[in-house]
């Protein structure tokens, strides 16, 4: 049996890589095509070409006009045509194509295989319902897994084969590698700069918030560095803001920030998070960590994106105007355990449970049996 996984986002790539791991043990032949970026999450899997990272990081059509213009100038149209040709060239080679992302991803996957499945990670009834044209395209899917129960019910009411078996984004949280060197019982503020091209600029804004929080609270600060962000660039930019580097820490006076790529451990240790990320913000909320966010210049964490994420996560996310107000919100959360618990419960409820990836894998194995 041969399976093609088509994904269109960093978080979606992580879900696709996890699904590939589950299927490899069953003897399934796998290929993957990440439509956004280079697909670094996939390992030991054949990847289709071409692959490319564009200036907007995949947010050209959903972000600012400047991001879209930059993508077009960088050759997005010719790349898109090449992607279509690559997928058309896969016709007849796979038993099923699994689209992980939005309806556009499903449409692209359909170029490669008539039999297709959709893991719908992008939209939810909480923040943005599927339009009629999207539902029409979704009818071509043999099965649809949604990220929450309300979305599954709504799509099923429209006659679509939708089900809820857990949130795939919660499946994709990596296991902790080792305990972080933080004092037992300490209040830990987790910094999530995102994984796109503006992650470095985001981190510098988050460091300003750290200084404001640290001026009034004895908290431990941990930054989950994405693998796309080079440590040397972080050190250079932070030094320009007056921070010094000692081992794994950035220091400014008595305040320090632990830098780690062990996202699983960082998330487990967190009390609250300050995030300028997509998937990571959602996963933090799902693990019961209240998230504070603010809009920034760039392709991803715009005002529009933050507002959509606010609707998705409800009171699990506190959206404010700038980093100063974000720091004040963090201080308030650290001082009020009752508010933290209330927002934590909302995050767990909105993001739901694990289990979706295994449900998809089981469905694919059943196709092989038939």
Q: What pLDDT is recorded for position 125?
A: 95
- The predicted-structure confidence for 2-39, as pLDDT tens digits, reads as follows 999 999 988 999 999 999 999 998 889 999 999 998 88
Question: Hey, what are 301's tokens?
Answer: 């964490």
Distance separating alpha carbons of residues 80 and 63, to the nearest angstrom: 18
Residue of 287, 249, 293 whose CA lies nearest to 271: 287
Q: What pLDDT is recorded for position 300?
A: 80
Q: Identify the segments of the chain with pLDDT beneath 50.
A: none
Q: Which residue ranges form the domains of the chain, and what is each CATH number? A: 2-166+355-369 (3.40.50), 188-351 (3.40.50.2000)
Q: What pLDDT is recorded for position 26?
A: 83
Q: What pLDDT is recorded for position 56?
A: 64
Calculate the CA dihedral of residues 352, 356, 359, 365 and round it to 10 degrees.
Answer: 180
Q: What pLDDT is recorded for position 287?
A: 97
Q: What pLDDT is recorded for position 62?
A: 59
What are the b/e assignments for 260-271, b being 16+ CB within 10 Å?
bebbbbbbbbbb
Residue of 342, 333, 286, 334 whose CA lies nearest to 309: 286
Bridge partner list, 46:
31
Side-chain-side CA neighbours of 318 within 13 Å: the count stands at 23
- pTM exceeds 0.85: yes
Q: What pLDDT is recorded for position 53?
A: 79
Q: What pLDDT is recorded for position 293?
A: 98
Average pLDDT, the chain: 92
Q: What burial class does residue 242 get, using C-beta atoms within 10 Å of its C-beta: 0-12 exposed, 13-18 middle, 19+ buried?
A: exposed
């Amino acid at each position: 049996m041969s399976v093609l996984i088509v994904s269109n986002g960093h978080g979606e790539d992580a879900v696709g890589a996890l699904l590939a791991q589950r299927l490899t043990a069953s003897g399934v032949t796998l290929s993957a095509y990440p439509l956004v970026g280079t697909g670094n999450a996939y390992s030991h899997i054949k990847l289709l070409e071409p692959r490319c990272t564009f200036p907007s990081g995949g947010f050209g059509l959903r972000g600012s006009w400047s991001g879209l213009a930059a993508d077009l100038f960088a050759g997005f149209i010719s790349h898109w045509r090449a992607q279509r040709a690559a997928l058309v060239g896969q016709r007849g080679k796979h038993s099923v194509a699994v689209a992980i992302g939005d309806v556009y991803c499903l449409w692209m996957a359909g170029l490669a295989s008539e039999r297709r499945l959709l893991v719908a990670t992008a939209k939810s009834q909480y923040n943005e319902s599927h339009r009629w044209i999207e539902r029409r395209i979704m009818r071509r899917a043999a099965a649809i897994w949604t990220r929450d129960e309300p979305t599954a019910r709504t799509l099923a009411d429209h006659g679509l084969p939708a089900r809820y078996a857990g949130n795939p984004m919660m499946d994709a949280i990596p296991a902790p590698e080792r305990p972080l060197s933080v004092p037992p019982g300490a209040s830990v503020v987790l910094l999530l700069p995102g994984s796109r091209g503006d992650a470095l600029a985001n981190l510098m804004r988050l460091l300003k918030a750290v200084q404001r929080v640290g001026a009034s609270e004895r908290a431990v600060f941990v930054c989950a560095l994405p693998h796309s962000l080079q440590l040397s660039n972080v050190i250079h930019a932070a030094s320009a803001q007056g921070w010094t580097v000692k081992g794994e820490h950035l220091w400014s006076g008595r305040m320090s920030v632990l830098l780690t790529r062990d996202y699983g451990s960082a998330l487990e240790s967190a009390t609250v998070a300050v995030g300028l990320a997509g998937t990571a913000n959602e996963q933090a909320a799902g693990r019961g960590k209240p998230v504070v966010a603010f809009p920034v210049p760039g392709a991803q964490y715009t005002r529009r994106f933050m507002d959509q994420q606010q609707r998705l996560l409800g009171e699990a996310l506190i959206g404010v105007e700038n980093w100063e107000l974000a720091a004040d919100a963090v201080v308030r959360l650290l001082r009020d355990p009752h508010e933290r618990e209330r927002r934590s419960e909302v995050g767990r409820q909105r993001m739901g449970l694990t289990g979706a990836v295994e449900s998809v894998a089981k469905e694919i194995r059943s196709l092989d049996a038939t």
